[in-house]
Structure 1
């Protein structure tokens, strides 16, 4: 894995929902020695995520950095299973309340459903059309920057979703 980040309770719940809610059985996904397995992103999923308005549009005056893509199929108990993630930094976006409203409106218009209010600027989920769910988080970081993070289940961890 090329990047380490903070995993929120919302991501843990979404990840467990991916495996237990019709996206393959968790036992199927982790049977055998998963740490020895190659891990691959699902190219169709990554391509679809890269087209999502929440990842391609910014509040007025903001600037987007390049998308960073990470994927890991390791699972270290008692933590959540690792997921694929697209991460994009946004600078110059303004106050957190304005950023939250911008992404809430944009996400709602493109089919995302908001999670309850957590410690992030904005959290939402969206079905990927295969009984799996993508998870969106807009995180506030030091210096007034934000990170847009969309997590998904890597190809090797979702045997019944492909």
Structure 2
């Protein structure tokens, strides 16, 4: 038995329309990232940011490489909340050389490598609560270094990456803007 053509043509748009109307009538409210941060109490942690900015993995480079200025970010809400400090590394060495440099440096400065990383290199550092997580990935002709931390005001039980490598998200709210 064949479904009439008019049903196939209009069923999808009708379902989407019903869902949108239901969301509006039902009071579902989409919030901007800043509104979600305010509502949840999630905020940047200045002490963690200062400590992360001083970490050798964000201050030292392989020979002939250069780091751009640090960029701080904050993501609050579902599925997890995290703060981050990132730096862009421009370097002539290959990805393998860069990964080896940061693996050695991380090992000497208290970071524990994540064995099954989806990135060039990934490691955690215990902080007494939710660990910091360092991610190194290739980004075009450069590399992105990022340390993620748990923001202030987020419950200790909301440590999404305590055992599972976080996803390198680009959508973060710049801190201090």
TM-score between both structures, scaled by the size of structure 1 = 0.69
Alignment equivalent of 2:77, drawn from 74, 78, 81 = 74
Shift of 1:59: 0.5
State how far apart, in whole Å, the 1-side matches of 2:37 and 2:93 are: 42
2:20 matched residue in structure 1 = none
1:104 aligns with 2:103: yes
Residues 142 and 136 of structure 1, relative CA distance in 2, 3 Å threshold: same
- Find 1:131's aligned residue among 129, 132, 144: 129
3-state SS of the aligned residue for 2:50? helix
CA contact (8 A) 1:85 1:152 kept: yes
**Runs (5+) with no aligned partner, structure 1:** 1-32
Q: CA deviation at 1:90?
A: 0.1
Q: CA deviation at 1:38?
A: 4.4
Which residue number in structure 2 is paired with residue 83 of structure 1? Answer: 82
Q: Identify the structure with bigger relative contact order (alpha carbons < 8 Å, sequence gap 6+).
A: 1
Q: Do residues 53 (structure 1) and 56 (structure 2) align? A: yes
SS in 2 for 1:89: strand
> What's the C-alpha RMSD, in Å, of the aligned pairs?
1.8
Q: For structure 2, list consecutive stretches of 5 or more residues without a partner in the other structure.
A: 1-35, 158-177
Q: Say yes or no: does 1:39 pair with 2:42.
A: yes
Q: Which of the numbers 49, 53, 67 marks the counterpart of 1:64? A: 67
Does 2:149 correspond to 1:152? yes
CA contact (8 A) 1:124 1:137 kept: yes
Give deviations 1:26-80, integer Å, cap 9, x for gaps: xxxxxxx8772343111111111010000000000000001110012221xxxx3
| Residue pair 1:73, 1:81 contacting (<8 A) in 2 also | yes
Whichever of the two has the greater Rg, that structure is: 2
For 1:153 and 1:40, how far apart are their aligned partners in 2? 9
Question: Which secondary structure does the structure 1 equivalent of 2:72 belong to?
Answer: strand
Mapped partners of 2:77, 2:119: distance in 1? 25
- Find the aligned partners of 1:117 and 1:103 in 2 and give their Cα distance: 16
TM-score, normalising length from structure 2? 0.64
The residue that corresponds to 1:11 in the other structure is none
Q: What's 2:114 paired with? A: 115
